[in-house]
Structure 1
Amino acid sequence: MPAELLSLVSELEANINQVVVGKPEVVRKCLVALLAGEHILLEDVPGVGKTLVGKALARSVSGHFCRLQFTPDLLPSDIVGSNIFNSKTNEFVFHSGPIFSNIVIADEINRSSPRTQSALLEAMSDRQVSIDGDTHNLPRPFMVIATQNPFEFEGTYPLPESQLDRFLMRISMGYPDRAAERTILESHRIGEPVEELSPVVTCDQIAQLQDSVRKIEVSETISEYLLDIIDGTRTSDDLEVGASTRAGLSLFRAAQSHALLDGREYVVPDDVKHLAVSVLAHRVIPKGFLHAGQREAVESMVGRIVEEISIPV
């Protein structure tokens, strides 16, 4: 792997960690999703830096990014665009929406109606949108960073399983420790540090890194280990629905991306184990009814399954 590409990865990660203080693991997982060409769902209470992570990542890449504030009255056309009649030419002209960006921050995604949420489905899975029978390709790279508050239900619409399945990982931010919070207070004394961030990589360089991820070697032993975890979710007594084939592919790609971030050209078992809960927990359905606020319970179930699988030597 070219040394300059590895240097870019380190520079990108360091640039984001300048403003996202005390959350290196969250930043690392967001970069895993970016290099895997996938999307991320940041979930936690308001005010812990979910949007900040998205803005820091977007500002570190010299592409086009937008922030969409999801509200109950947001329409699908407000996201993907629409055909507008041009009276001078007597033709309909397509006007692209904000989804035609390299990085899209979908803030409070669960506040919009299911119809509007579904407008993202085709974009996230196929990197294209279809309007009035015409297909329009989205730029590369393309990434959706969505945020939501899992503890607030007034005026919200929970994401359906098909929508959740399009996110590579669901990540909880958590509160920063005291030292990190002190640093945050000091750094925000005179302004917003994220506004001062400059791009460190181009879209073409991100595309090269994404291509490099696909070349990361995954041995047959590692693949079997990954499949053992997937099968474990399907046979678990705690889960009604286990991980899908798409979930297995997502974990495979995430492990490759994590290996690249560590500067390796091959995947090791720890890559798979480290990411398994974040990649799989939001894709499985537990037996009985669990309140959405009990996300930790589902993650604990998946974590136990992962621990029970023997790590290949």
Structure 2
Amino acid sequence: MNPRPAAVYAPDAERAARVAAFREQFEGVVTNVARIIKGKDEVIRKVLLAMTAKGHVLLKDVPGTGKTMLARALAASIDCRFRRIQFTPDLLPMDITGTNVFNLRSKSFEFQPGPVFTNLLLADELNRATPKTQSALLEVMAEGTVTVEGTTHRMEPPFLAIATMNPLDHEGTYALPAAQMDRFTMQLSMGFPPPDAEVEMLDVHLADDPPVEHLRPVVHREDFLAWQATVPRIFIAEQGKKYLVELANAIRADARALSPPSPRAVLMLARTSQAHAMSQGRDYVTPQDVQAIAADVLAHRMVVSGSDVAHGFVHEMLAKVPVP
């Protein structure tokens, strides 16, 4: 059981040492992934922050922008098992979770785990599968467990999901329900690289061997689990917690927010703010940590009326809420 967070900030040498080690390793992973994904350091950082906060990431973009390569490079850099599921309209839930198979030798049913049993799962083109199949990820993303025919199987940590999503105007896509969107800590877009970075990308990927195959781990799985274990120890003052709630309530009170952020969204924003503070070498959260990632954490969970774009709407709310 985790201890209750401290009410007053107090310097902690052991915590500070863990934050310093995290920052060094974090920058090493970003640099390693950037060998493959050119010109997208900010996206790499944000995906890593969400993963450090035990969160999942939705990458919404057109095909061919490097989403799959990013997931593979991250898995290789943190020395985690990687599996990919290509979501299609005929995919079934048991194709993801696994199923019980009758063993003729033992005369009994045995559970055959599906591809979801991994450390880093790439759910490729998630919105091409039916809502029934999409829902197979709800339990494992929220609770880290998979239940098949009444038996619950716990995932080996870490379990992280990176999903890719085609724009909804593409043929053969299904809208993700609100419950599914709320499971993702961040929604990000890769976008197109700057021209110079795209030239570098051609130099890298026109080589004989795929460069991602030669990527070596920067940290081991145990190091990454230590990152995640350090996040709850990062101090958030009482005023900081009130700032998070006031931001959420400001959005909820605005008539343009047809689907405002849930309490889970506020919790995810707090955790990613803690991870962001760690990436800056601090063991305490400031309002600037919240402001740096608020739009990426909140916007995809919201429906905003009129011509307002959710990202811009969140930034407008950030400007209105007094900073403690």
Q: Is the 8 A contact 1:238 1:301 kept in 2?
A: no
SS at match of 1:95: strand
* Superimposed CA distance per residue, residues 238-283 of structure 1 (whole angstroms, 9 cap, x where no aligned partner): 1112111111001000100111122211111111001110000111
**Aligned residue number for residue 254 of structure 1:** 272
| Residue of structure 1 aligned with 2:47, choices 18, 21, 30 | 30
Amino acid at match of 1:136: H
SS at match of 2:109: strand
**Aligned residue number for residue 72 of structure 2:** 55
Matched, 1:141 2:155: no
Matched, 1:103 2:103: no
| Residue of structure 2 aligned with 1:8, choices 4, 25, 29 | 25
SS at match of 1:150: coil
Matched, 1:65 2:77: no
SS at match of 1:156: coil
Matched ranges for 1:149-228 at <5 A = 149-190=166-207, 191-228=209-246
Q: Is the 8 A contact 1:16 1:60 kept in 2?
A: yes
Following TM superposition, by how much is the alpha carbon of 1:132 offset from its aligned partner in structure 2, in angstroms? 0.7
Following TM superposition, by how much is the alpha carbon of 1:32 offset from its aligned partner in structure 2, in angstroms? 0.7
**Aligned residue number for residue 57 of structure 2:** 40
Q: Is the 8 A contact 1:118 1:163 kept in 2?
A: yes
SS at match of 1:157: coil
Following TM superposition, by how much is the alpha carbon of 1:192 offset from its aligned partner in structure 2, in angstroms? 2.8
* Superimposed CA distance per residue, residues 274-296 of structure 1 (whole angstroms, 9 cap, x where no aligned partner): 111000011112236x8xxxxx8
- What runs of 5+ residues in structure 2 fail to find an aligned partner? 1-16
**Aligned residue number for residue 88 of structure 1:** 105
Distance (Å, rounded) in 2 between the aligned partners of 1:104 and 1:306: 33
Q: Is the 8 A contact 2:168 2:175 kept in 1?
A: no
**Aligned residue number for residue 274 of structure 1:** 292
Q: Structure 1: which 4+ aligned runs deviate by more than 6 Å?
A: none
Following TM superposition, by how much is the alpha carbon of 1:189 offset from its aligned partner in structure 2, in angstroms? 2.1
Distance (Å, rounded) in 1 between the aligned partners of 2:229 and 2:313: 34
* Matched-pair identity in %: 42
Following TM superposition, by how much is the alpha carbon of 1:135 offset from its aligned partner in structure 2, in angstroms? 0.3
Distance (Å, rounded) in 2 between the aligned partners of 1:43 and 1:206: 25
- The RMSD of aligned alpha carbons is 1.4
Following TM superposition, by how much is the alpha carbon of 1:151 offset from its aligned partner in structure 2, in angstroms? 4.4
SS at match of 2:309: helix
**Aligned residue number for residue 9 of structure 2:** none
Matched, 1:303 2:321: no
* Superimposed CA distance per residue, residues 81-139 of structure 1 (whole angstroms, 9 cap, x where no aligned partner): 10001121111100111101000011100001111100000010000000010000011
SS at match of 2:118: coil
Following TM superposition, by how much is the alpha carbon of 1:198 offset from its aligned partner in structure 2, in angstroms? 1.0
SS at match of 1:33: helix
SS at match of 1:78: helix
Distance (Å, rounded) in 1 between the aligned partners of 2:217 and 2:269: 29
SS at match of 1:240: strand
SS at match of 2:167: coil
Matched, 1:235 2:253: yes
**Aligned residue number for residue 293 of structure 1:** none
* Superimposed CA distance per residue, residues 161-218 of structure 1 (whole angstroms, 9 cap, x where no aligned partner): 0000000000011111111111111112214322221112222111111010110011
Distance (Å, rounded) in 2 between the aligned partners of 1:245 and 1:5: 28
SS at match of 2:63: coil
Distance (Å, rounded) in 1 between the aligned partners of 2:22 and 2:199: 34
TM-score normalised by length of structure 1: 0.94
SS at match of 2:163: strand
Distance (Å, rounded) in 1 between the aligned partners of 2:180 and 2:88: 17
TM-score normalised by length of structure 2: 0.91
Amino acid at match of 2:281: G
Distance (Å, rounded) in 2 between the aligned partners of 1:45 and 1:155: 14
